[in-house]
Chain A
Amino acid sequence: MSGSAVLLQFLNGLASASSLFLVAAGLSLIFGVTRIVNFAHGSLFMLGMYLAVALAPHAGFWWSVPLAALAVGALGALIEALLLRRLYAAPELMQLLATFALVLILRDAALWAWGPEDLLGPRAPGLDGAVRIAGSRFPAYDLFIIGCGPLVLGALWLLLRRTRWGTLVRAATQDREMAGALGVDARRLFGGVFALGALLAGLGGALQIPREPATLAVDLQVISDAFVVVVVGGLGSIPGAFLAALLIGEIKAFCIGLGYSEFTLAVEFVVMAVVLVLRPWGLLGRAPAPVRGPGAHEPPLALPSRSALGALAAVALGLCAVPLLSGGYALVLLTDILLFALFAVSLHFLMGPGGMLSFGHAAYFGLGAYGAGLLLLKGGAPMAAALLAAPLLALLAALVFGWFCVRLSGVYLAMLTLAFAQIAWSVVHQWNAFTGGSNGLIGIWPDGWLAGRTAYYYVTLGACVAGIAAMWRVLYAPFGYALRAGRDSPLRADAIGIDVRAQQWAGFVFAGLFAGIAGALYAFSKGSISPETLSVPRSVDGLVMVLLGGLHTLTGPVWGAALFIWLQDSLSRGFDYWRAAIGAVIVLLVVAAPGGLGGLLKARSAR
């Protein structure tokens, strides 16, 4: 690279860093104060883009930006007041589920309002040309964007440091309960912060329209980037987010400048993994105040009653009888439900009793699936051997990734699992010769005695019931008790001689292994697998299943998986806006049953 090329790529990096920061700032603010993992932040960004594109022909581009930002901010206030406010008393992660439902609803709403076509916005009047820098043309608007980042950073700094409202926000960021005890009205504070965060998302979106078209897919693209920036910077630290955006923006620009554009697939996740391993609370984050999270409040697991066990056995027996009644599609659907129930229970094992939130559990599911495919197609292993040995690949990955992950806690841990999952995904996606690249592996079918739908259903049923039972049983074994002790009170667990980290590591590997079993069964039921088996949406699906079912009951994830797959299957048939419909069902459930389906059942049986 010549000197001028270095300078220009540096400027390009600054421009993308500024754009990244604008999205991440709002997310960081919201998370810092309300502890809400706001999945819908990318959707708010997307709405900002669409609104600005729609307003620009009437109001002009420069007016459309503040108008769109204000509109999105108002929507944020509405969302907080109507939906999230009802959930502050609910288990923390239910808010995550609610914002996930909003993603589904907002995307379909945008599709309905603006149609499917990508909308390229106007160039910014007055800044529609390029300026000469070091002999090359550089867009004038990009210079403006470069200035916007520090400007917003400065404004936020002033707001948080120099106003009374900002002082209260910082107090709540540090210690919510203490702030509440001192008479700060948390509701109003949270509402204001959420609206401000949404406004920043809308502003970020509106400012992007001269650089990129408004598309429906932008919501999920933006949200993962924004999360990475927030976590690398340190949760709740706005200057940290700025620094992280700068780091990631520049690394990406120079990857491209040096001709390694393939690395941009996962480079931000590599950066995040490295930062979190070296600095467990991000670049500028601080160790959080002692956790008074859900773990501490959770009632201990009681042994299931005789009647509950009987009911579960009856369900399993009923499932055994299904092939006698129907040989067709019911078996295909039930096979899927069983697989995902096993996957969801393994994730629940990690999140609930293990106390380790994971955003990347699909990595182990996907690696189990790829293990099966690779052993069968590349290794020439017989089917039974491939099916049995495949989960070992997931186990191996969980051993390595878990070793790093258990050194962190809370959302940092979750984001490190996400980073490893994305790195694994990008390897699978890029390694054409071995994993088949983006097309994946094709032709992974069971042979001989397992070829029929019924036979495969019975094998899946057996494996899933056994796997789920094993995981539940382990929770009442000494290992399970030690795991829960470590979650509820690490200090006391340590004091009585439990090696908390070792227990967590073992739990991580255990959960990974069972996800791998689900993945291997999945591969043979579908005949082909592609990198999406270990992608973020798959991990999110798992989270949704667990949360729908309820985090604090054992059987919840099973019902959650069944409901989610069934909803997808039945609503997507012949109904155009089925994503929004699923979102609406989730919102209703979250509001009506904050404890999830399992919580509902429990409440009924307790009556």
Chain B
Amino acid sequence: MRPARLVACAAALLCGAAQAQAQAVRIGELNSYKTFPAFLEPYKKGWQLALEEVNAAGGVNGRPLEVISREDGGTPGEAVRVAEELLARERVAMLMGTFASHVGLAVANLAARRKVVFVAAEPLTDKIVWENGNRYTFRLRPSTYMQVAMLVPEAARLKKRRWAIVVPNYEYGQSAADSFRKLLRAAQPDAQFVAEQAPALGKIDAGAVVQALADARPDAIFSALFAADLQKFVREGNLRGLFRGTAVFNLLAGEPEYLDTLHAETPAGWWVTGYPWRQIDTPAHRAFLAAYRARWHEDPRLGSVVGYAALHTVANALRRAGGTDGEKLIAALEGLRMSTPFGPIEYRALDHQSTMGAYVGQLAQRNGEGVMVNWHFADGADYLPPDDVVRALRKE
């Protein structure tokens, strides 16, 4: 290429880029990438893939979509500052992201204050759509309550009398334990709770906890442990024979982020919620899996699906609203139906919770690796409390 042509090309490219930027719809994304990298690196790849898809298909409303992504430091204070920066300096049209519940709640509250729509992708806390819910906040993932409710029918079917509970000591664990007690008692009035352990998050003293649970001689265990706590609990439990003849129900343990780390320790027969990506054979998931593997040359995690679906939520909302006006976006998101790799979902107008579901099944080992078997898809819409209960919680 001759120099003159090269310059012309570069100029054209620059102009094009400048033009695209001038027109792009900007989305502010913030997350605790450094605090929870195991979940959030796949999440980032998920939304990047979705962003490329949206822009390859011509963007939204004739404009390309641009995501401005930020580290939120993992604390509410820093996250609020980062969100303010996205709003004030980057002039983003919507906010998206967050992982931990307290950070999600803080950003949701700021979103309501600044009257900007926020798609909370990952936080599980029930409060973000119920007690502390607001007009501007929508949440994608099935909440703690929903995932507990998905496990309860199986738990009640086993007719185990003596239950022990072990959950990490913070809001997610506490509300998982509360919901489980309430829902199981309703389904099986003779259930007893004989032991409860709430070790500090990330600092479980697994030997002592396993011993204390075993001393209570439970027929079944409900656990909400995840990540390093889960690994320690599983290894100690296996060594000490806690799981022999004891049914175990563990929220989230089927998510590849946590299941893949267990390898040969994977306890067979546990009931879990998760994401058996190898075996899901729906057209929507097949397309997602192929696209994800082609783009990143690796297998998806649950975070990938969450990031992917969150960005498509944003794009669909912008399309349906026909612009970036806040009120129109709320109207567009309320009742928005869209497809995800897990199948169709709807953002409920009632409480802004999506009906995204999760897969419920049992753990097993294949070639020294953990997999989910006997699984079925639990549609989130079927595991939410009655509307009047939700309305009472959501005092708007």
Contacts and interface: CB of A to CB of B under 8 A. Distances in A.
A333 B241 contact: no
B178 to A, nearest CB: 10
B203 interface: yes
Contacts of B170: 429, 437-438
Contacts of B125: 439
A438 to B, nearest CB: 4
Interface residues of A, number: 73
Contacts of B41: 116
A495 B70 CA distance: 58
A264 B83 CA distance: 35
Nearest to B257: A117
A259 B209 CA distance: 9
Interface residues of B, number: 66
Interface stretch (B259-267, B271-279, B380-388): B259-267
Given A16-B205, A16-B208, A445-B113, A528 B106 contact: yes
A256 B208 contact: yes
B169 A12 contact: no
**Interface of chain B, helix or strand or loop or mixed?**
helix
A541 B260 CA distance: 35
Given A261-B169, A432-B174, A442 B105 contact: yes
A444 to B, nearest CB: 9
A117 B261 CA distance: 8
B197 interface: yes
Interface in A1-30: 1-2, 5, 8-9, 12-13, 15-16
Interface stretch (A159-167, A186-194, A211-219, A378-386): A211-219
A138 interface: yes
A252 interface: yes
Contact of A532 (B75, B196, B257, B262): B75
Interface centre among A123, A442, A445 (most CB of B within 10 A): A442
Contact of A443 (B78, B109, B212): B109
Contacts of A16: 205, 207-208
Interface in A209-264: 210-213, 215-218, 221, 252-253, 256-257, 259, 261-262, 264
A507 to B, nearest CB: 27
Contacts of A429: 170
B102 interface: yes
A215 B204 CA distance: 14
Interface stretch (A35-43, A174-182, A295-303, A566-574): A566-574
Interface string B56-95: 0000000000000111010111101100110011000000
Contacts, number: 201
A261 B209 CA distance: 8
A120 B231 contact: yes
Interface string B301-341: 00000000000000000000000000000000000000000
A216 B215 CA distance: 32
A212 B38 contact: no
A553 B393 CA distance: 53
Most A Cβ at <10 Å: residue of B34, B78, B227: B34
A579 B34 contact: yes
A265 B215 CA distance: 22
Given A526-B76, A572-B70, A116 B207 contact: no
Interface of A: 1-2, 5, 8-9, 12-13, 15-16, 111, 116-120, 123, 129-130, 136-139, 142, 210-213, 215-218, 221, 252-253, 256-257, 259, 261-262, 264-265, 328-329, 332-333, 336, 429-430, 432, 437-440, 442-443, 445, 453, 522, 526-530, 532-533, 568-569, 572-574, 576, 578-579
Given A212-B231, A217-B228, A574-B70, 16 more contacts: A1-B215, A117-B261, A118-B38, A119-B261, A137-B239, A211-B206, A256-B199, A259-B212, A261-B197, A261-B199, A332-B85, A432-B171, A440-B102, A528-B102, A530-B75, A578-B71
A142 B206 contact: no
Nearest to B256: A117
16 contacts: A9-B212, A111-B34, A118-B227, A119-B261, A139-B239, A210-B235, A217-B202, A221-B202, A252-B208, A256-B199, A261-B197, A262-B169, A264-B203, A332-B85, A439-B105, A528-B109
A111 B206 CA distance: 25
B236 interface: yes
Nearest to A139: B239
Interface string B88-122: 11000000000001100110011001000000000
A328 B88 CA distance: 5
B211 A5 contact: yes
A336 B83 CA distance: 14
Given A116-B41, A257-B212, A530-B106, A139 B240 contact: yes
Interface of B: 33-34, 37-38, 40-41, 69-71, 73, 75-78, 80-81, 84-85, 88-89, 101-102, 105-106, 109-110, 113, 125, 127, 132, 169-171, 174, 195-200, 202-203, 205-209, 211-212, 214-215, 227-228, 231-232, 235-236, 239-241, 257, 260-263, 265
Nearest to B227: A118
Contacts of B202: 215, 217, 221
Given A212-B232, A438-B171, A253 B241 contact: no
A527 B215 CA distance: 45
8 nearest A-B residue pairs (beta carbon): A116-B37, A328-B88, A438-B170, A528-B106, A256-B208, A329-B88, A329-B89, A530-B102
A439 B215 contact: no
A248 B37 CA distance: 32
A218 B231 CA distance: 14
